[in-house]
Amino acid sequence: MGFIGSHTVDSLIADGYDVVVMDNLERQVHLGKRPDYLNRKAKYVIGDVRFQKDWSKALRGVDSVIHLAASVGIGQSFWESRKYLQTNVVGTTTLFELLTKEPALKKSISKIVVASSKSLYGEGAYRCSRHGVFYPEQRGLSQLRAGDWEVRCAVCGAPGSAVGVPEEKPPQNLNPYSLSKYATERLALDYSYALGIPAVAFRYFNAYGPRQSLSNPYTGVLAIFLSRIKNGKRPVVFEDGNQLRDFIYVEDIAHANVLALERGEGVYNLGTGRPSSLLQMVTMINNELGTGIEPDVTGDFRPGDNRHDFADNMKFLKSFGPKVFTGLSDGVSKLVEWSLRQKAQDRFSSAESLRKKYIPGA
């Protein structure tokens, strides 16, 4: 019933699928109520992915699974790591344990699609003009405390230029959330091999669009910026705001999830391959709202953050066919238009207080 899930349900039903949805109505996301955008043609089961009985109920008569349930957010995962690991890792394990123990159920499932995350890469991929492409280690605290934000070549020390991150880049998992998503991905692939059920794991880059919670301070950065601006407050940008990210519109992700029921196997980046800076995104949101609220560029940093990343999506395009991704200006326009009818409870400051209490940056 969440952000990406609800769009995926809409796409499935539009393509003629019968859909069963399991969700626990996480209060941090839904504020304790059922969202008004639910597709009435789907069947809904209130359940928790950590419990086998709930999976058993939801999987009756099902022939494929798109598993998107997860606790999300990098910062919060440091001080609520048990919750993240239980939901994301134990929840996924519970699904595959059930399939292992119930042969008839295993036989009925023809495909499993799971949501992984680009955050498992840690730092992105870079090119040195002298030494070629390299995959750097996490930036050191002494470098960050000095306000030296850019990634440098380990051989010559020259600043690296960001390039698209390919799937073969080794994971770094700089925070508990990333680790939990990597575990979700690996569990799907390991059980796929053991049980003979084809699986796809999509490493989502920065998803955005309508239905993204404007009151959850651990959701996507565009929704956080938008919530701050709607409340007349300056959006907070860490480091210098020139970090590059790959923003992918939610309906593009939903369509890929549905297509994966028929195509692909293994791990794929799911991003546009087109990077934008955080400062550019603040400007774009202001322009759409007709506001001019300047960002608060703090010069602070957060452990677990990386400098630049965007997708090398050639593997996805090769397996799933040519794709025209929603343009960023069109996608942001749709997000802002939707937000005008929504309430936004700005909880960023309270989340930042917790972050500074548990994992201060500088």
Residues annotated catalytic, as ranges: 177
CA-closest candidate to residue 201, choices 91, 106, 29, 65: 65
Check the CA dihedral 325-329-333-336 and report its sign: positive
Rg of the chain over Cα atoms, rounded to whole angstroms, equals: 20
CB 89 within 8 A of CB 183: yes
Distance CA 286, CA 301 (A): 24
CA-closest candidate to residue 28, choices 250, 225, 217, 231: 217
Place of tokens 């651990």: 218
Distance CA 200, CA 221 (A): 26
Place of tokens 């292992």: 100
- Sheet of 161-163: strands edge to edge? 132-134, 125-128, 161-163
Pairing of strands 161-163, 125-128: antiparallel
Distance CA 189, CA 178 (A): 17
Residue 247's H or E segment, with its range, is: strand 244-249
Q: Hey, is 338 helix, strand or coil?
A: helix
Torsion of CA 23, 27, 33, 37, to 10 degrees: -60
Q: What are the two backbone dihedrals, phi and then psi, of residue 337, each rounded to the nearest 5 degrees? A: -60, -45
Distance CA 267, CA 202 (A): 6
